[in-house]
Amino acid sequence: MNNIDSINHVTGKSVYLDDILIQKGTLHAVVFGSSIAHGKITHLDISKAEELLGVEKILTYKDVTGQNQIGGIIEDEPLFAEHEVHFQGQPIALIVAKDEHTARKAITLIDIKFEEFEVVIDPRIAKEKGLLLIPPRTFRIGDIKNAWSKCDYISEGRVDSGGQEHLYIETQGAYAYPIDNGSIKIHSSTQGPTAVQKTASKVLGIPMNRIEVDVARLGGGFGGKEDQASGFAAMAALASYILQRPVKLSLHRLDDMKMTGKRHPYSSDYKIGLSKDLKIIAFQTTLYQNGGAAADLSPAIMERTLFHSTNAYYIPNTEVTTYSCKTNLPPNTAFRGFGAPQGMFVIESAIARAANELGIPTRTIQEKNFLTENDEFQYGQIAKSVNIGNCFSTASRLFNIEKIDNDIKKFNQENSLLKKGMAIMPICFGISFTNTSMNQARALVHIYQDGSIGISTGAIEMGQGVNTKMAQVAAKVFSINIKRIKLESTNTSRVANTSPTAASSGADLNGNAVLIACNELLKRLKESAAKILECSIDEIKLQDEQVLKNGQVTELSWEKLIIKSYLSRICLSENGHYATPIIHFDKSKEKGHPFAYHVYGTAIVTITLDCLRGTYEVDNVQIVHDFGNSINPTIDKGQIEGAVVQGIGWMTMEEISFNKDGRLLSNSLSTYKVPDIYSAPKAIECHALETVGPELAILKSKAVGEPPFMYGIGAFFAIQNAIETFNPNYKLDFDAPLTPEKVLMRLYEKNV
């Protein structure tokens, strides 16, 4: 089963925000953002700009008809800056004009003066100054204080990881226009239509039922549109509401890069203790999350860092503390992995250094400490159906790790300026929103008189193929051709109170809602068929577009059944509601059972390093991944490949840089390098582990969106491994991304 959208995508027929035919009289909006990162607005004169021919209105905080305060978790962020600015690019005003060009021209006529304040961009400095977004949190298990004395070997260090620009192909934007009854309709490029609806409702000061949000699809989100689409949509809606005109806002790439938050950079200290037989006895880490100027999703992201800080290992004595630090950067936000990659990089670094100091391969320690059945995570959940050991041993056997090792040794002996390196990256990722209440979804299924079906869910299609999976679920229940099924746009008037499509749980949550609705309809249709065929319901089966009676094909086709059921006045619409059972979490104890299940896998990453230039190529990423019983291997494989490349990008080349004044230097694609086809691995081999899959996954097909991102972390260690081979003086350090520049420095580092 291919992706139902692929033909329209590649032929350019799929409609994205910028393709929506605009109404006559549509105005265009451009955001005016702060030129400094921290300070007081001492003077703001928009009169000249407003006088420019073609400028309709310039909105500031004074024009907000409802509340100016926004923020998904904590309302700590102004939609438009009032008296102070806290990051470069922070929205101050919205220029609404007849076209974008005029709006941009008007910006140059705005007269603004600031009194500049001290800029903090380093999370450790922020922590020292007491600048925290929320109080710190600690997860613990065992007795860390008394554990150190039981360790034969202790190692300590510091780990840093950088931010990451989402670089969704479609930038942030919204198109809003007035509809009947004083309502506003918003087309938004968002992962969270309800978040947009709620934010717009607050900003405009009108109830949620007067805001209709509609999303056909996104040109990528990757977490960047879970929360941050809301502000821009609210701006377009506000302008439209005040002017009673259609207003379109679509960020220029440079504005998008400057104004929106990214993956959180983290800086961490750790201490790890092992026994003689290489069991990890104790692990303690403190992580400083660079949150940016407002909370955004940082509290939830720091929570997932805590959950995943021991990755796929069982460590009996663990203590992890995170600080969410307030800095003068754009509020950092969700990005594939949601804080987990940053935490996993720390434990993997700790293991790599310990192995290096002990003079053994990293995988010897990894292998001895994998989670096993019924181990307890530091958050209290008991690990079930643990597959990490199986993934690792299958990968070792299938890809012949000894041979890889020997080939690398041989290559490295024969080559003086090229060195190969290898690393193993195991993953364990919990599926469910860590905030239990968000784990719910609804689906509205209509069967039309001709037997075609329309499905609305709360899921957002952003390239990950969730719509195809929803259609597959319905087609399977009714046993009909998938061509009969259409996925409608995601619309808050059809499906209300949606959770964002995030946490890799879009297909699980919405798919289960579809399943529930379809099963209910199937029950009704079987009853109807039993009546028509004068038999009992148990004798009826729907198969391949036919009604079977006692296993025999009848004259009742799918289409006949539907029209006859309609004429008998049977309801052919159903609303399904799903809430993940079992899960719970008690924040006061930091214990519970937050995840429906975990996804496991292991990647072997091999690279070749050019020791003259510091450049490298990823030769192969060989994966054994636990998909459960994949509902769509083609899509899932695509998710693996995309995530691996994105993960490698984060670890090796994507370097976000701000100067000390908080100005984004890597503000375009000429200064920010994302992986292209040349830097993608030469091969990605993905083998599916044979498992039945968990009950709580949609049709036992495990969530796949985020977990494989973490395989990319292996590229860091594989490159490091090659540097070590070339330069025996190199002292291991953990400062990602490991760009070619940094590699070159380390290749020629002298023993000091």
Ramachandran assignment for 385, one of left (phi > 0), alpha (psi -120 to 50 degrees), beta (any other):
left
| Residue whose pair of structure tokens reads 């949606």 in the numeric block | 498
What is the bridge-based pairing of β-strands 27-33 and 247-250?
parallel
Binding residue for ligand MOS (CB under 6 A) from 191, 228, 362, 630? Answer: 191
Q: Which is nearer to ligand MOS, 431 or 736 (CB)?
A: 431
3-state secondary structure of 457: strand
Q: Which residue is nearest to ligand HPA (CB)?
A: 503
Amino acid at 98: K
Strand partners, 30: 95
How big is the site for ligand MOS, counted in residues (CB under 6 A)?
10
Instruction: Assess contact for 313 and 369: CB atoms under 8 A.
Output: yes
User: Residues near 577 by Cβ (< 8 Å), separated by ≥ 6?
Assistant: 440, 441, 442, 513, 516
Strands (E), 26-126: 27-33, 39-45, 55-59, 69-70, 77-78, 84-85, 91-97, 111-116
| Residue whose pair of structure tokens reads 């692990």 in the numeric block | 283
| Distance from C-alpha of 642 to C-alpha of 285, rounded to nearest angstrom | 30
Residues 215-254 that bind ligand MOS (CB under 6 A): 223, 226
Q: Which is nearer to ligand MOS, 222 or 392 (CB)?
A: 222
The DSSP output letter for 436 is G
| Structure tokens that stand for 585 in this block | 């979490």
φ/ψ (deg, to 5) at 551: 80, -5
The window from 46-54, 309-317, 335-343, 418-426 that contacts ligand MOS (CB under 6 A) reads 335-343
Strand partners, 132: 325
Over the window 30 to 59, marking each residue x when it contacts ligand MOS by CB under 6 A and - when it does not, the resulting string is: ------------------------------
Binding residue for ligand MOS (CB under 6 A) from 184, 200, 334, 542? Answer: 334
Q: Which is nearer to ligand HPA, 72 or 246 (CB)?
A: 72
Q: How far is the CB of 228 from ligand HPA (least distance, A)?
A: 12
Q: Which is nearer to ligand MOS, 347 or 502 (CB)?
A: 502
Strands (E), 260-414: 266-274, 280-292, 317-326
Q: Which does 647 bind (CB under 5 to 8 A by kind): ligand MTE, ligand HPA, ligand MOS, none?
A: none
User: In Å, what is the CA distance from 737 to each residue of 221, 224, 452, 707?
Assistant: 22, 20, 50, 19
Q: Which does 435 bind (CB under 5 to 8 A by kind): ligand MOS, ligand HPA, ligand MTE, none?
A: ligand HPA
Residues 684-723 that bind ligand MOS (CB under 6 A): 706
Over the window 405 to 444, marking each residue x when it contacts ligand MOS by CB under 6 A and - when it does not, the resulting string is: ----------------------------------------
Q: Which is nearer to ligand MOS, 88 or 305 (CB)?
A: 305
Q: Which does 275 bind (CB under 5 to 8 A by kind): ligand HPA, ligand MOS, ligand MTE, none?
A: none
| Distance from C-alpha of 282 to C-alpha of 274, rounded to nearest angstrom | 7
| Distance from C-alpha of 178 to C-alpha of 242, rounded to nearest angstrom | 10
Q: Which is nearer to ligand MTE, 33 or 339 (CB)?
A: 339
Binding residue for ligand MOS (CB under 6 A) from 336, 419, 494, 702? Answer: 336
Which residue ranges make up the site for ligand MTE (CB under 6 A)? Answer: 220-223, 336, 462-464, 466, 501-507, 639, 642, 703, 705-706
Q: How far is the CB of 225 from ligand MTE (least distance, A)?
A: 8
Q: Is 338 in the site for ligand MOS (CB under 6 A)?
A: yes
3-state secondary structure of 295: coil
Q: Which does 462 bind (CB under 5 to 8 A by kind): ligand MTE, ligand HPA, ligand MOS, none?
A: ligand MTE
Q: Which does 215 bind (CB under 5 to 8 A by kind): ligand MOS, ligand HPA, ligand MTE, none?
A: none
Q: Which is nearer to ligand HPA, 270 or 429 (CB)?
A: 429
3-state secondary structure of 492: coil
Q: Which residues are catalytic?
A: 706
Instruction: Assess contact for 627 and 724: CB atoms under 8 A.
Output: no
**Closest CA relative to residue 517, chosen from 458, 438, 588:** 458
Q: Which is nearer to ligand MOS, 226 or 256 (CB)?
A: 226
φ/ψ (deg, to 5) at 109: -100, 0
Q: Which does 708 bind (CB under 5 to 8 A by kind): ligand HPA, ligand MTE, ligand MOS, none?
A: none
Which residue ranges make up the site for ligand HPA (CB under 6 A)? Answer: 226, 297, 300, 304, 334, 338, 433-435, 438, 502-503
Which residues are near ligand MOS by CB under 6 A?
191, 223, 226, 334-336, 338, 502-503, 706
